[in-house]
Structure 1
Amino acid sequence: MLVSVFIALLLPCAAMVIVFSVYICLLWYAASQGLEEGLPVKSTPQKGLTASYLEKLPKVNGGDLVMGRDCAVCLDDIEIDQPARLVPGCNHGFHLQCADTWLSKNSVCPVCRAEVSAELGNIK
């Protein structure tokens, strides 16, 4: 009976050691293969809009906004007399500085993620 208890405890432990050893070997193999081949670096294209393109986007006063007067970039209200910028197509409005900062880094609307295409006024 002592032998059967010993085997019952030893076999699961031995199996776990074997599984762990195989896991470590696979990790080592994957790491060594990735370093030898040299992973290709994916170049990131220009994501934002240029300053000249930003100037072509429509400017309005905060009172003229039809889709609400909350700026999704800074989360502040757009006052009636504050300058605002509209994203063409979806007509979401933002503070002028907030929109220019956002769109210079991202070419999508911060609310609906509609992409502003290269041609003014078109949404992809």
Structure 2
Amino acid sequence: MIDSVLLALFLPCLGMSAVFMVYMCLLWYATTHRPQVALPSKPSPEKGLSASQLEKMPRVTGKELLMGSECAVCLDEIENEQPARLVPGCNHGFHVECADTWLSRHPMCPVCRAKLDPQLLNPCENPC
């Protein structure tokens, strides 16, 4: 009778231990033998404007701005006598330093995200 009680308690423990060991082996195998999946790479960021292209962009003073006097890059007011840079095409204005920093990294207007057309920066001398 004692033998049957011990077997009744021992066999379920032995079975659960075997199931646990199989689970641990499968878990180990799954973590160490993963297929090498190539993660999608980030698209290469667009290159900004060169220093020579930035110099070709129009410069005005703060009082000549038509579309407002707040610089969207630094969120500060462009004073009347401060130099400002206009983005060709959309005519948004920014502090010269702010615009040059932004446009050297991103070839688009910080306000409307309009792409800068290289032909606006390199106009032909003769009619094209």
TM-score bucket of the superposed structures, by smaller chain: 0.5 to 0.7
Query: Where does residue 82 of structure 1 map in the other structure?
Result: 82
- Output the TM-score relative to the length of structure 2: 0.63
Task: Tell me by how many angstroms 1:42 deviates.
Answer: 5.0
Deviations 1:24-73 (A, max 9, x none): x9xx69x934xx25346456154211111000000001110000000000
Query: Where does residue 105 of structure 2 map in the other structure?
Result: 105
Aligned Cα RMSD in Å?
A: 2.7
Counterpart Cα distance in 2 of 1:110 and 1:69: 14
Residues paired across the two proteins, number: 94
Bigger Cα Rg:
2
1:37-56 equivalent positions in 2, closer than 5 A? 37-39=37-39, 41=41, 44-56=44-56
Counterpart Cα distance in 2 of 1:108 and 1:120: 13
Identity, % of aligned pairs? 59
Residue 120 of structure 1 pairs with residue 120 of structure 2: yes
Rate the CA distance shift 1:73–1:41 in 2: closer, same or farther, 3 A: same
1:32 is matched with which residue: 14, 31, 34? Answer: 34
Counterpart Cα distance in 2 of 1:81 and 1:107: 27
**Maintained 8 Å contact 1:89/1:121:** no
Counterpart Cα distance in 1 of 2:70 and 2:87: 14
Task: Give the unaligned 5+ runs of structure 2.
Answer: 1-26, 123-128
SS of the equivalent of 1:120 reads: helix
Task: Give the unaligned 5+ runs of structure 1.
Answer: 1-24
Counterpart Cα distance in 2 of 1:40 and 1:82: 45
Counterpart Cα distance in 2 of 1:40 and 1:112: 29
Query: Where does residue 95 of structure 1 map in the other structure?
Result: 95
SS of the equivalent of 2:94 reads: strand
SS of the equivalent of 2:118 reads: coil
1:16-27 equivalent positions in 2, closer than 5 A? none
